[in-house]
Amino acid sequence: MNAPIRPRLALAASVAGASLVALDGTVLLVAQPRLQQGLAASVAQVQWASTAYLIAVGALLVVSGRLGDRYGHQGTFLAGLCGFAAASAGIAAAPGIGWVIGLRAVQGVFAALLQPATLALLRTAYPADRLTRPVAIRTSAIGIASAVGPALGGALVAHLGWRSVFLLNVPFALVAVALTLATRIPRVVRRRPQEQLDLAGAWLLAVALAALVAVVVEAPAHGWTAAPILLGFAVAACATAGLVAHERRATHPIVPGTVARSRPVTASTAMLLATTAGVFGTLFAAAFYLQHGLGLDAFTSALRVLPLTAFMIVGAPVAGMALRRVGARRTALGGVLLVALGIAALGALGRAGWAGPAGFTAMGAGFATVMVTATGTVVGDAPPRYAGVVGGLKQTANNVGSALGIAIATGVMPSVASTAAAHPTATVAPMGSAMLLMAALAATALLPAALLPSRRSTASGRRAAGATGTTPPAPGDRVTAEDG
């Protein structure tokens, strides 16, 4: 296979895998209210159906990235695709909410295998100075999948029920498998002793995340000083302290020191986590409000959210151009401001006709800008041999942010989900206060955004990468072609 074809096939495989995950997430947001009714579940149980997936992904993404760096990203990508499809089929046949929660956690394990590879394939196939365009294409594809997802999911839920949205993943995953098998990507094969995977660190991270999310969800019902809540805080604090101590001692920590010491990587990751928390907390609350509060069906409520996904598509290439012209710092600051203002505008949803279109439009354009900036900075700053690690780190920020945002939204908006159907007007006040909280949460991303490199430092970093824009393999490594 000649060289010019390889990057295009890698891009197609990356787009297919990323779009599968985006489609699953956006379709599920629309289906959650019907899933709650169909399985006679509580709002907290529905929230855990999302959170179980996000915790599994967040705990395993970086470890999965290192698996890909060691054994090849195509192998982990294919395993992730096949397992994701099988878990989706199992959820579609689940007899109760407990099965849904458990299988969503299994689905998250396989999502953790495939997600880092979608970025690692690009980092391996493209030099650093040519990453902006494929990253923007990938982000646009995520936007397209996100745009199609709510409308398609709404139609499926309305006519075939909530189970059909999980069956949708199966043929989509098979297409991604076919594209991946047609791709051959060079990978670094190490002659040095292989690094051990930090499974203990991954376990501590999962415990810390689960305890923290459980506290945020349950505290409004029990009170912040109740014994179970204080115990949850203690577990989260102990697990976090144990994780920090373990990582300092570990010979091969979850995040290598080279990556952890990179200010662009850490700042981009923190920015993405805070922004994603605000966006997904907002979408979770808005889905219940549109269907229960305003009485819209799943398809109509999905149409209300279309400006967000449409402007993610439009915003991604514009963000790519801005990133090249004004640098990461200014581009990121503008994106975060748009997200925060858009969320704040949604506080008037149901009272002002402009609130929905304006709010979702600003959120979409801003979130696309943040995604392109963070992805380009994280993936472009790291050496190719750590492509899976940084891809996993970026996706971890996405998933941890989503879990925390949804948990916070669930905690501060109980009336939106539980009493909206009986008392629609009672949800207006909680919606406004919750959106202000989500906007403030997203706005905290301004601080790490301000730490990103300016235009001059970005250019300097590219020059330092060498004429080809790539970082050479470490001594003792060799490059081979990876077969599907």
* 445-456 average pLDDT score: 83
d(CA 402, CA 279): 8
Question: What pLDDT sits at residue 195?
Answer: 56
Question: Given 251, 268, 284, which residue is the final one in a domain?
Answer: 251
Residues 308 and 229 placed together within one structural domain of the fold: no
Residue type, 436: L
Question: What pLDDT sits at residue 17?
Answer: 85
N residues, the chain: 484
Question: Given 251, 267, 291, which residue is the final one in a domain?
Answer: 251
Residue type, 390: V
Is pLDDT of 126 > 80? no
Mean of all residue pLDDT scores within the chain: 76
* 411-435 average pLDDT score: 56
Q: Does residue 474 form part of some domain? A: no
Residues 221 and 268 placed together within one structural domain of the fold: no
pLDDT, tens digit (0-9, with 9 covering 90-100), for 48-106: 887 788 778 777 777 777 777 777 777 888 899 999 999 999 999 988 898 999 999 99
Residues 214 and 260 placed together within one structural domain of the fold: no
Question: What pLDDT sits at residue 446?
Answer: 93
Q: Does residue 162 form part of some domain? A: yes
Q: Does residue 205 form part of some domain? A: yes
* 219-243 average pLDDT score: 84
pLDDT, tens digit (0-9, with 9 covering 90-100), for 277-311: 999 888 888 877 777 767 777 677 777 777 887 78
Residues 163 and 122 placed together within one structural domain of the fold: yes
Is pLDDT of 336 > 80? yes
C-alpha pair distances (Å), 31 with each of 24, 129, 260, 407: 10, 41, 38, 18
Is pLDDT of 313 > 90? no
Residues 147 and 37 placed together within one structural domain of the fold: yes
Question: What pLDDT sits at residue 473?
Answer: 35
Other beta carbons within 10 Å of 51: 29
Residue 317's beta-bridge partner residues?
none
Is pLDDT of 478 > 50? no
Q: Does residue 477 form part of some domain? A: no
Is pLDDT of 462 > 60? no
Residues 159 and 204 placed together within one structural domain of the fold: no
Question: Given 251, 267, 292, which residue is the final one in a domain?
Answer: 251
Is pLDDT of 428 > 60? no
The angle formed by the CA atoms of residues 107, 111 and 117, to the nearest 5 degrees, is: 160
Q: What percent of the chain has pLDDT over 70?
A: 78
Q: Does residue 403 form part of some domain? A: yes
Residues 92 and 134 placed together within one structural domain of the fold: yes
Residues 180 and 97 placed together within one structural domain of the fold: yes
pLDDT, tens digit (0-9, with 9 covering 90-100), for 238-281: 988 988 888 788 777 777 676 777 788 888 888 999 999 999 88
Which of the two residues, 226 and 62, has the higher pLDDT score? 226
Residue type, 229: I
Q: Does residue 275 form part of some domain? A: yes
Question: What pLDDT sits at residue 366?
Answer: 92
* 149-167 average pLDDT score: 82
Best-predicted range by mean pLDDT among 51-55, 369-373, 398-402?
Answer: 369-373
- Domain count along the chain: 2
d(CA 367, CA 152): 22
d(CA 165, CA 160): 9
Residues 227 and 287 placed together within one structural domain of the fold: no
- At CB < 8 A and 24+ separation, what contacts does 317-323 make? 317/136, 317/140, 318/365, 318/369, 319/136, 319/139, 319/368, 319/369, 319/371, 319/372, 319/373, 320/132, 320/133, 320/135, 320/136, 320/372, 320/376, 322/369, 323/132, 323/372, 323/373, 323/376
User: Quick one: tokens of 127?
Assistant: 């030099």
> What is the extent of the structural domain holding 304?
5-185+252-465
C-alpha pair distances (Å), 352 with each of 55, 342, 349, 379, 428: 36, 14, 6, 41, 11
| DSSP letter (8 states) at residue 192 | S
d(CA 14, CA 119): 7
Residues 158 and 291 placed together within one structural domain of the fold: yes
Question: What pLDDT sits at residue 103?
Answer: 93
Residues 262 and 247 placed together within one structural domain of the fold: no
| DSSP letter (8 states) at residue 426 | G
Q: Does residue 479 form part of some domain? A: no
Predicted TM-score (pTM) of the model is 0.66
Residues 241 and 257 placed together within one structural domain of the fold: no
Q: Residue 121 is part of a domain; what is its CATH number?
A: 1.20.1250.20
Q: Does residue 475 form part of some domain? A: no
